[in-house]
A and B are shown apart, each in its own frame.
Chain A
Amino acid sequence: MLEMLHRYGPDLLTGFGLTLLTWVLGTVGGLVLGFFLEMARRFGPRFWIGWPIRAYVEFIRGTPFLVQLFVLYYGGPLIGLRLDALPAGVLGLSLYGAAYFTEILRAGFDAVPKGQIEAARAIGLPGRTIVWRIMLPVMMVSALPALVNFAIILTKETVILSMITVPEIMFQTQTMMSETFAFVLPILILALFFWGFVEVISRFGRRLERRFTHYLLEES
C-alpha cells in the first residue's frame, strides 16, 4: 500500500490541485455569471432578456451535466469554440452552476421585504447601491445556506470533468485503479478526500452565515 501511495502520490496530489482549481474557478464563475443573469432578468426587458435566461436555466436543469459537458467539448468546435479539456471543464462547470445560482439568487432577492427597498429609493439611493448595500446583505440570510449547499454539490460534479480527460483527482484515481487493479483503496482515498474537502467548505460556509446573520443572533 505504501508503495502504491509512493508511486501514485504525486499524481494524486496534482489531481487534488486540479480538482480544487476547477471547483474554485467553476464556483466563482458560476456565481458571477449567475448574479449577472439575475440582475439582467430582474432589471432588463422581459422579452429580450427574461425569456432567453429562463430557457437557459431550464435547459441546464433539464439535462445531465455530463451531456452538457460533451455538447460543449465535442460540439463546441462545430461553432468554432475549440477549447482544451481544462478550460472547457471550468467553463462547463460555470455555466452549469450559473443556472442554479441564479435561481437561488432570484428567490433570495424576491424575499427582501419590499418596504426596505422602498425606503432606500425614497432616500434617493441609486439602484446599484440598493443592490449592493441593502438587497444583497439582507437576502444573504436566506440565500447563503442554499448557495453554500450548491457550491458543495459542485465539488462532486468536478469528477465528471474526468470524462473529457481533465486530469483531476477522479481521473488520477481511475488511472491508478486500471494500472494496479486495486479498487478499494483508491476509491476509499477518493471518498475521504471529498469528505474532508466538503467538511472544510461547510465550516467556511457556517462562518460566512454567522457573519451575515450576526445581527439576528444578538441577545436582546
Chain B
Amino acid sequence: MSLEPTATSPASAHLRAVNKFYGDFQALKDITLDIPPGKVTCLIGPSGSGKSTLLRCINFLEEYDSGEVRIDDRLIGYETPGGKRMSGRRLREMRCDIGMVFQQFNLWPHMTALQNVAEGLERVRGLKRAEATARAREALAKVGLADKEANHPSRLSGGQQQRVAIARAIAMQPRIMLFDEPTSALDPELVGEVLAVMKQLAAEGMTMVVVTHEMGFAAHVADRVVFMERGELVAAGAPREIFQHPTDQRLASFLQGYRERNSLDF
C-alpha cells in the first residue's frame, strides 16, 4: 500500500451537530465547532466532559452517531452524512493525514524508537526502507532524540517516549495533529520537554487540536480555547476571553477550581 501525502498545507476540521452515545449515556451533545487551519485549538474541561471523545471523532477512532466531521471539506467515517461507513482504505487514506498523540504514548514496545517512527512511512506511505529510515531519523532529530534511535521504549523516559510518539506522527507529514492529554501521564519535570516540542510545531503553523489540563499551555500557545462540560460545548474563544473574562458560570467555576488547586495566575 502506498498513500502519498495529498497536500502539505495545514488542514482545517469542521464538526457539525455531532452526537455520540455510549448506550444511554450521551457523551457528545450537538457539537458544532470549526478548527481553523494552522492554528492551535485547546479543548479544556473537567474529566468526563467529552473532550477526548470529541478529539477521537476527528480521526474516527471514535465513531460518532450523527452529525458531520470533515477534514477540510471531506467527510470522515461515512460515505455521506448519516450514510454507510466509508471503506477501510479511504478511512486509512484520510487517517494518515491526521497525526495523533496519546496520553499513554502507545509506542510499540518491540520496536526501537527508529522503527516506531519508520513503520508508518514504510507500510502506509510506501517509502523504501532506506528512505523511511532517513525520514524517521529527521523526525527524531526534530524532537531532540537523534541519539536514542536504537532504544526500545522500555529504555526511554516518559517524556522521551512521548517525543518519539510525536516524531512517529509528524514523520507521516500530517496536515492536522491531535493531542489527547499528551502530558497527563508524565512526571511534572518531564512535561516541559514535550510542551516545548508542541510549541515548536505550533510555531511552524501546524493545525493542532490539543486536549489538555495544562492551562498554562492553553493560555500561552492556543489561538483558540474551547471549554466543554458534560458533553456540551459551553464556551469558545481566544485564550484571553476564556481565561480572563469568562462569561459562562460553569467555565468560571471550572477555572476557579483550577486556580485554587494550582494557585497559579494566568
A binds B: yes
Q: Can you name 15 extra interface pairs (CB under 8 A) apart from A119-B106, A119-B165, A125-B124?
A: A113-B106, A116-B107, A116-B108, A119-B107, A121-B61, A123-B169, A123-B172, A125-B119, A125-B120, A125-B123, A126-B123, A127-B88, A138-B110, A215-B152, A218-B155
B13 → A minimal CB distance (Å): 15
Centre residue among A119, A138, A218 by max chain B CB count within 10 A: A119
**Using a CB-CB cutoff of 8 Å, which residues 176-219 of chain B contact chain A?**
none
Q: Which residues of B contact A113 (CB under 8 A)?
A: 104, 106
Centre residue among A124, A129, A215, A218 by max chain B CB count within 10 A: A124
Query: Is B1 a contact of A126 with CB atoms below 8 Å?
Result: yes
Whether A216 sits at the interface, judged by CB under 8 Å, is yes
Known interface pairs A133-B119, A215-B154, A218-B154; A123-B106 also in contact (CB < 8 Å): no
Q: Which residues of A pack against B, CB within 8 Å?
A: 113, 115-116, 118-127, 129, 133-134, 137-138, 212, 215-216, 218, 220
Known interface pairs A119-B102, A125-B120; A215-B110 also in contact (CB < 8 Å): yes
Whether B3 sits at the interface, judged by CB under 8 Å, is yes
Known interface pairs A124-B92, A134-B108; A220-B123 also in contact (CB < 8 Å): no
Q: How large is the interface on B (under 10, 10 to 19, 20 to 34, 35 or more residues)?
A: 20 to 34
28 contacts between A and B (CB under 8 A): A115-B102, A115-B106, A118-B102, A119-B100, A119-B107, A119-B108, A119-B165, A119-B168, A121-B61, A122-B59, A123-B95, A123-B96, A123-B168, A124-B3, A124-B92, A124-B95, A124-B120, A124-B172, A126-B1, A126-B88, A126-B123, A127-B88, A134-B108, A137-B110, A138-B110, A212-B110, A216-B109, A218-B152
Whether B69 sits at the interface, judged by CB under 8 Å, is no
Whether B11 sits at the interface, judged by CB under 8 Å, is no
CB nearest to A129 among chain B residues: B123
Q: Which residues of A contact B108 (CB under 8 A)?
A: 116, 119-120, 134, 138
Known interface pairs A118-B61, A122-B95; A215-B109 also in contact (CB < 8 Å): yes
CB nearest to B171 among chain A residues: A123
Whether B93 sits at the interface, judged by CB under 8 Å, is yes
Q: Which residues of B contact A133 (CB under 8 A)?
A: 119, 123
B96 → A minimal CB distance (Å): 3
Q: Which residues of B contact A118 (CB under 8 A)?
A: 61, 102, 106
